[in-house]
Homo-oligomer: A and B are copies of this chain.
Amino acid sequence: MYYIGVDLGGTNIAVGLVTREGSIVNKRSVPTGADRPFEEIFADMGKCTLALLDENGILADEVDCVGIGTPGTVDPDQGVLLYANNFKYGRNVPMRGLMQQYINKPVYLGNDANAAALGEVIAGAAKGVKNAVMVTLGTGVGGGIVIDGRVYEGQYSAAGEFGHIVLICGGEPCSCGRKGCWEAYASATALVRQTKEAMESHPESLMHRIVKEAGKVSGRTAFDAARQGDAAGQQVVDRYIFYIAEGLLDLINIFRPEVLIIGGGICNEGERLLNPLRAYLRANSYGEGLLPEQRLEVAKLGNDAGIIGAALMHA
């Protein structure tokens, strides 16, 4: 049997043919065109799925089910997207029904970040463990929870909104309406803001030259400057890692998972990020020195995690 996993992203829809063991036999993608009516988006998704089956000589009979990982919150029983603020189509999209017009199989919906966490547990950074928590540090801060080998979605699949736990009560305004959320300090967006602020108060910093060459401030600016010995850049990096670490500590104290997985572009900084992060977590975890160190891993599968996790959500 094969499982179809769909990662419905803001830019592309990726569809994969997945085995029960979590390997991707083949995959295809199609641009999302997120500002189109959802009927059109789902028509492309359905056709892409059929093309994938056709291309691999797989009959519908050999497909067990389809899993769709989507941003936003869903009603998994009804197979309906309740709302997703990144998509124009907004609310109450009958995703299951739309997909079943193309392939008449059980269709499951789940949150994309949860699906990615499951994918990493099935075949990636946390392979073989039962309980893992994953944080993705990107434009926002997303999260996924796997307990006992299954995604924990919470009601309306609204669990795992790690970006919206508070880091500094009453602090920086967050897109969610609350103030001081972790996302407002630890996302790539926040890092860019912090970098710009440091550049303003440090006209001598190397960061100015780096930005001139690169054409813009990015999440890499401060890290690049720090690597070259720039003090202001190092300060930004240290502070940003502190913000990440404080939120991760919350997740450790709440879940004490077998593996804590971090993903997102920032992980490309490798040991420059991980070493200070591990040191901070070691020194500040609850029960420090009495409990073994929390295992921290970097996500391994990239976008494939979402496909694999979506495919096997209900396998």
User: Once bound together, how far apart are the Cα atoms of A159 and B73, in whole Å?
Assistant: 25
Residue A42 at the B interface, CB < 8 A?
Answer: no
User: Once bound together, how far apart are the Cα atoms of A48 and B250, in whole Å?
Assistant: 39
Residue A266 at the B interface, CB < 8 A?
Answer: no
Contact A254 B176 (CB under 8 A): no
Measured between beta carbons, the chain B residues less than 8 angstroms from A290 are 73, 82-83, 91
Measured between beta carbons, the chain B residues less than 8 angstroms from A230 are none
Contact B254 A161 (CB under 8 A): yes
Shortest C-beta distance, A248 to chain B (Å), equals 11
Give the number of times this chain occurs in the complex, counting copies. Answer: 2
Task: Give the residue name and chain of the B residue nearest to A72 (CB).
Answer: B287
Residue A102 at the B interface, CB < 8 A?
Answer: no
Interface-lining segment among A11-19, A23-31, A165-173, A302-310? A165-173
User: Once bound together, how far apart are the Cα atoms of A256 and B73, in whole Å?
Assistant: 11
User: Once bound together, how far apart are the Cα atoms of A151 and B286, in whole Å?
Assistant: 20
Residue A220 at the B interface, CB < 8 A?
Answer: no
User: Once bound together, how far apart are the Cα atoms of A148 and B257, in whole Å?
Assistant: 17
Contact A253 B165 (CB under 8 A): yes
Measured between beta carbons, the chain B residues less than 8 angstroms from A169 are 167-168, 243, 246
Contact B155 A257 (CB under 8 A): yes
Measured between beta carbons, the chain B residues less than 8 angstroms from A148 are 147-148
Contact B158 A287 (CB under 8 A): yes
Shortest C-beta distance, A7 to chain B (Å), equals 21
Residue A284 at the B interface, CB < 8 A?
Answer: yes
Task: Give the residue name and chain of the B residue nearest to A152 (CB).
Answer: B147
Measured between beta carbons, the chain B residues less than 8 angstroms from A254 are 143, 159-162, 165, 254
**Which residue from B152, B165, B177, B257 sits with its C-beta under 8 Å from A288?**
B177
Task: Give the residue name and chain of the B residue nearest to A256 (CB).
Answer: B154
Measured between beta carbons, the chain B residues less than 8 angstroms from A255 are 152, 154, 159
Sample (9) of A-B pairs whose CB atoms are under 8 Å apart = A154-B256, A155-B291, A156-B287, A159-B256, A161-B253, A168-B168, A178-B284, A178-B286, A250-B250
Interfacial residues, chain A to chain B (CB-CB below 8 A): 73, 82-83, 91, 131, 143, 147-148, 152, 154-156, 158-162, 164-170, 176-178, 243, 246-247, 249-250, 253-258, 284, 286-288, 290-292
